[in-house]
Amino acid sequence: MRAPLIDVEGLRHRYDDGTAALDGVDFRLHAGETVGLLGANGSGKTTFILCLTGLLAAEGSLRVCGLPVSAENLPAVRRKVGVVFQDSESQLFMPTVLEDVAFGPLNLGMNAAEAQKRALTVLQQVGMEHAAGKAPYHLSAGEKKRVAIAGILAMQPEILALDEPTTFLDPPGQRALIQLLRELPQAKIIVTHDVAFARAVCGRAVFFERGRIAGEGAVDDLVRRFDWDPQAETAQAHNGQVTH
């Protein structure tokens, strides 16, 4: 069996106040897999994603595509893992969509013509080539999500990590995103509270609870096993009863 793309053992991270955000996480991701990270707000899912790319320091064994996640390997690791954050606008900052998507390849040392060609290729891949000359702020939420994904794909990562990708998307936008993710060949990790979305795109899921992975299996099995009601949790969060 081929070595996993992500191989994590005993991963730990503590907040500045000493709270254990991750408390001994073991996890593996293999080529071609799409794995959902489920669990309540504050259970460690997003912290886990940030540790994978070295945006947060962690203890334990953490290897990405065979590389230990260490200071000297961070540039290479971040080329291997492309992160799409919950708020797409945080990743869109250039005057036009084309310039935004070409930004990453240019930073990798590609010349302008090559970067533009790659940007147009991935925009076509995500169905957004028609918007190449538009300003990102003129796009809908679903279009912004697609352009943010295109910007990551232009870097040619081996792994995609998406944090709550259906946030702000209407039902047509969610359906389009499901179709896109099914077509992309990269291995994927998806943090989500959207059970229907997870069911549609994830081959398996893990359930985070208090900084640990408490269970692993099919999405619906985990929802039943842990009696998880993300809609109720979201309603509580909107009432200020839950902190992230």
50 neighbors 197 (Cβ within 8 angstroms): no
Q: Is residue 238 predicted with pLDDT exceeding 80?
A: no
Q: How many CB atoms lie within 10 A of CB 178?
A: 17
Nearest Cα to 226, choosing from 244, 202, 209, 201? 209
Tens of pLDDT, residues 179-209: 999 999 999 999 999 999 999 999 999 999 9
Nearest Cα to 147, choosing from 81, 89, 80, 83? 89
Model pLDDT, residue 242: 44
Judged by DSSP in three states, 175 sits in: helix
Confidence band (pLDDT; 50, 70, 90) for 243?
very low
Model pLDDT, residue 88: 83
**Across 9-16, average pLDDT:** 93
Q: For residue 64, what are the β-bridge partners? A: 6, 67
Model pLDDT, residue 1: 64
Model pLDDT, residue 19: 85
Nearest Cα to 187, choosing from 49, 1, 34, 26? 34
Judged by DSSP in three states, 161 sits in: strand
Tens of pLDDT, residues 164-174: 999 888 898 89
Q: CA 25, 31, 35: angle at the middle one, nearest 5?
A: 50
Model pLDDT, residue 236: 54
Judged by DSSP in three states, 50 sits in: helix
CATH fold of 6-238? Rossmann fold (3.40.50)
Model pLDDT, residue 234: 55
Domain segments of the chain as ranges: 6-238
**Across 105-130, average pLDDT:** 94
Q: Name which residue leads in pLDDT, 238 or 58.
A: 58
Model pLDDT, residue 114: 96
DSSP strand pairing (6-14 vs 59-64): antiparallel
**Helical residues (DSSP H) of the chain, grouped into ranges:** 45-52, 74-80, 97-107, 112-125, 141-153, 171-183, 195-201, 219-225, 230-238
Model pLDDT, residue 29: 97
What is the maximum span of the chain, computed from C-alpha positions, in angstroms? Answer: 53
206 neighbors 216 (Cβ within 8 angstroms): yes
Nearest Cα to 200, choosing from 219, 227, 217, 172? 219
107 Cβ contact list (under 8 Å, min separation 6): none
